[in-house]
Amino acid sequence: MNYEQKLQNVTVLGAAGKMGSGILLLTAVEMADLQLKPENRTKTFALNAIDVSPAALTGLYGYLKTQVRKVAEKKMNALREVYKDRSDLIENGEIIEQYIDDVLKIVHTSTSLESSYNSGLIFEAIVEDSALKVKLIKQILANNNNDPWFFTNTSSVPISELDMDADINGKIIGFHFYNPPAVQKLVELIVTDNTKQEVIDFAMEYAKRLRKIIVPSNDKAGFIGNGHFMRDIIFGIKQAQSLMDKMSFVEAIYAVNRISQDFMVRPMGIFQLMDYVGLDVCQKIMLVMRPRLNDDELHSELIDQLNSLDVKGGQNSDGSQKPGSLDYAKGRPVSVYDPKKKDYIAIESFQQKVDDMLGALPTSFKPWKAIIGNKSRDKFFVDYFNELKSMDTLGSTLTKDYVLNSKNIGLKLVSDGVTDKEEHVNTVMLTGFFHAYGPINNYFG
């Protein structure tokens, strides 16, 4: 079966979630573009969007319509060629509306797993629950006679485990998009010893068509991205706890969040990034990774406590952040949650005190937004960290420790066989997490 045939009937499980909806969008556009080829216009293409939430599915078409419009506006010249035989489509607006209609008519929403029984390709983007993933895959396999392949978006569950437990016989691959899939260029590709070559070949072609950057990861729980991120979280929490002999809980959380953003020149501080992903999601990922890697460090009592208090973070449907360890106004942290008081404490009430304790930023400092696109940023970071290294402040000490720990995490991923190359770790953090420099560097030796 060739590439186009495999994409004639596709299913996305968890289609209304933040990852599933992005995967659905990318696949719907790819399928529509295939169907609009002259040789395919008599063929039927169907994309089944399956989710347990009817309410979430109801809003899916609005999301798709908005996003497909943006896609269409970016490729007007190509669409004029596609619709060149349509004399009724003259204005750009008419062509855009027709393209939106052609993409949306491929998508069929459903809350029933039975809708996947005719699909040759299944994208799985449900919660990080291996038992549930296996249950759904086995049900599809028992009722689908079309030799389905499974592309799992899991960010933590070993692919070989899913393959064995669901008895898929190598017709599964880890195809881990980064959030949001429509924007993020990175995909972690996880292949097992049992993965069929035809599945790998299709995955590579699909990624190429979507203009994604593929980074291979070995089949270890958490892979490269969460292998680094979860341990980065644990270190940030420990660093905050170490400060509590000098300051209060909320002050320590603010301090480490500022260290891991401003001082380390990252797009978000570690606690904001935890909130962005979702504290409940981070907890689930650690629960997957910890027993499979025999790593007792992959656990946080603070994350457990916040989840028990229903402080979970995550994102609203418009992409804005929900309250988590921090609360936000216009995308910026404005308060810190205090588990003892069960309330948020305004950052402005203690910000100056903590900033004075941390000390000034290096004079060469530039924020992440100013440096991320700078072609000379490598030189900037050499100079910046040299200056920071010469400083004797609490902020400089915390930053040095954090940067070195991040490097050690990266090196451990290589030594533990999660990846074969240091450059893969750096590519994941640079591309998937938008860091301005890779964690494996020589800034502090």
Above pLDDT 70, what percent of the chain?
Answer: 100
Q: What is the pLDDT of residue 445?
A: 77
Distance from C-alpha of 249 to C-alpha of 259, rounded to nearest angstrom: 15
3-state SS assignment for residue 143:
helix
Whether 60 has a pLDDT exceeding 70, the answer reads yes
Q: What is the pLDDT of residue 7?
A: 97
Q: What is the pLDDT of residue 144?
A: 97
Which residue's structure tokens are 């494996």?
Answer: 440
Q: What is the pLDDT of residue 316?
A: 81
- For β-strands 326-329 and 9-13, DSSP reports them as unpaired
Q: What is the pTM of this model?
A: 0.94
Cα torsion for 117, 121, 125, 130, to the nearest 10°?
A: 70
Domains of the chain, by residue range, sit at: 3-217, 225-432
Helices (H), 129-196: 130-143, 159-166
Going through 261-418 in order, the beta strands assigned E by DSSP cover 326-329, 332-338, 343-346
HEC string of 35-61?
Answer: HCCHHHCCCCCEEEEECCCHHHHHCHH
Q: List pLDDT tens digits, range 225-252.
A: 999 999 999 999 999 999 999 999 999 9
Out of 48-62, 157-171, 338-352, 419-433, least confident range: 48-62
Q: CA dist 334 to 326, 331, 338, 350, Å?
A: 7, 9, 13, 11
Q: What is the pLDDT of residue 136?
A: 98
Q: What is the CATH number of domain 225-432?
A: 1.10.1040
- For β-strands 186-190 and 172-177, DSSP reports them as antiparallel
Topology given in CATH for the domain delimited by 3-217: Rossmann fold (3.40.50)
What phi and psi, each to the nearest 5 degrees, are found at residue 282?
A: -60, -40
Whether 1 has a pLDDT exceeding 70, the answer reads no
Peptide bond into 180 cis (omega under 30): yes
